[in-house]
Amino acid sequence: MTVDAEDWLLDEIASTAVRLAAACFAAIVSDEFDAKILLGRFAHDEAALLRRACARFDEVATRTRAPTTLAAALEGRVVPIPDRPCPAFMACTDWAPYRGAPATSPLADEPTHRYYRERTAIRTRQMAELRAAGRSACVAPVTRRSLADLVAALRAIERPGRPATLRLSDAREPVGSTGAPLNALLQQNLVNLEIPTIELCCSLILESGDLPLEFVTDMARQAWDEARHAQLFWTRLSALGGAVDDYSASTVLWRMCRGQSLAIRLALHQCAGEWVGVDGAAWYRDAATRAGDPETAALFDAVMRDELGHVRLGHRWLGVLCPDGQDRAATRAAAAALRRAAGKSADGPLAFPLDEALCRAAGFEDDEIADLATRYRLHGSLAEAAVRP
């Protein structure tokens, strides 16, 4: 492999890492929900391309190995942050070195050709999505920051961007089977769960530190799923005549995680919070089925299955960060304390009825399931108490 070809591949890796970092940061600070949804999907696109480009480099390089972390992939480059997603930001640029590679270059072989076709398809789709969203232009990027600068700025953000029309409050809106309209349930899932989780996944990507790129792609995969859920909730809410600003919204999830270690954040949200999401989605799916609402039931069933995978990811990476069982238990306890302080379910009644089979499918350890079973036996669940005559 020629030095030029290695350099070209490393440049492709770095450029893709820049797009990934920019998409993640912009998703957090944007004050538009549709932009956050787009950027959550784009972050997954770039993370997947980054892993494939690194794998291709390792197949043919002779001088060095491919980067194994986001920081290494960026090669110290600055990241331009736009005011909003637009063609100037996610430009479908050609990969000139590939197009001009001689027949003897590794850039002209079949695996690189396959990568190029996938890259082109993804970038073309991104541009089509931007056009479909009516985002034909934006001003030039207003900031250019290193990854360290982005992380420092991220940790200083007290709350992520929100639409100006949205009323912010930590007061809980009554939802679902407690007697409030279905629109409240859909809106609260959209603005208080799905959108915040896109932001939290993007923050984990930017702060991934020494964790391998596999962690980055796992969090980006979850961001894509949450973007899908947000769009599903938004579409269903709109079909029922509701709007995203009909009820208040909270940024408590961001504030709970802000300033915490990666391990605590995974325990707090991916392991505990997403698990509540699994049980909640199953509960509301069954309620919608009983109410004769198959569209909403299908929505919550899809969410439940995705969230199950997110809890598995959380447990897996918590095990990587805390391989010692006692350390893992201490991290879970610290996360529970944060949830308790924020008024989330951490002891006493569970939020929803316990399903031990789902717990095992999500990767909970035996002692965790035993603790949950004890809580459920002694205190029941808030959801059941709300509908009890």
pLDDT of residue 389: 60
H or E element, residue 81 = strand 79-81
Fold assignment, 163-387: Ferritin (1.20.1260)
Phi, psi of 30 (to 5 degrees): -60, 145
Among the listed residues 211, 218, 231, 201, the one whose alpha carbon sits nearest the alpha carbon of residue 303? 231
Give the tokens for residue 358.
């789902």
pLDDT of residue 177: 41
Among the listed residues 219, 224, 233, the one whose alpha carbon sits nearest the alpha carbon of residue 191? 233
Q: Mention every residue, 6+ apart, whose C-beta is less than 8 A from residue 221.
A: 44, 47, 313
**pLDDT by 10s per residue, the chain, length 389:** 455 778 888 989 999 999 999 999 999 999 999 999 999 999 999 999 999 999 999 988 888 899 999 999 998 898 888 766 776 666 656 666 666 677 777 777 888 888 888 998 998 899 888 888 877 666 555 678 899 999 999 999 999 999 999 999 887 655 544 445 799 999 999 999 999 999 999 999 999 999 999 999 999 999 999 999 999 999 999 999 999 999 999 999 999 999 999 999 999 999 988 888 888 999 999 999 999 999 999 999 999 999 999 999 999 999 999 999 999 999 999 999 999 898 887 778 888 888 888 888 888 888 888 888 899 899 988 888 877 66
pLDDT of residue 347: 79
pLDDT of residue 164: 93
d(C-alpha 216, C-alpha 71), whole Å: 11
79 three-class SS = strand
pLDDT of residue 137: 63
In CATH terms, is domain 3-150 a member of 1.10.10? no
pLDDT of residue 45: 96
Inter-CA distances, 92 with 11, 19, 35, 68, Å: 16, 12, 18, 25
pTM recorded for the entire structure? 0.92
Inter-CA distances, 173 with 152, 261, 346, Å: 33, 30, 19
pLDDT of residue 173: 58
119 three-class SS = helix
The terminus-to-terminus CA distance of the chain in angstroms comes to: 74
pLDDT of residue 4: 76
168 three-class SS = strand
pLDDT of residue 139: 56
Domain ranges of the chain: 3-150, 163-387
pLDDT of residue 187: 95
Q: What is the residue type of 17?
A: A
pLDDT of residue 140: 55
For the beta carbon of residue 285, count every other beta carbon within 10 angstroms: 20
Decide if 3-150 and 163-387 have a common fold. Answer: yes
pLDDT of residue 134: 79
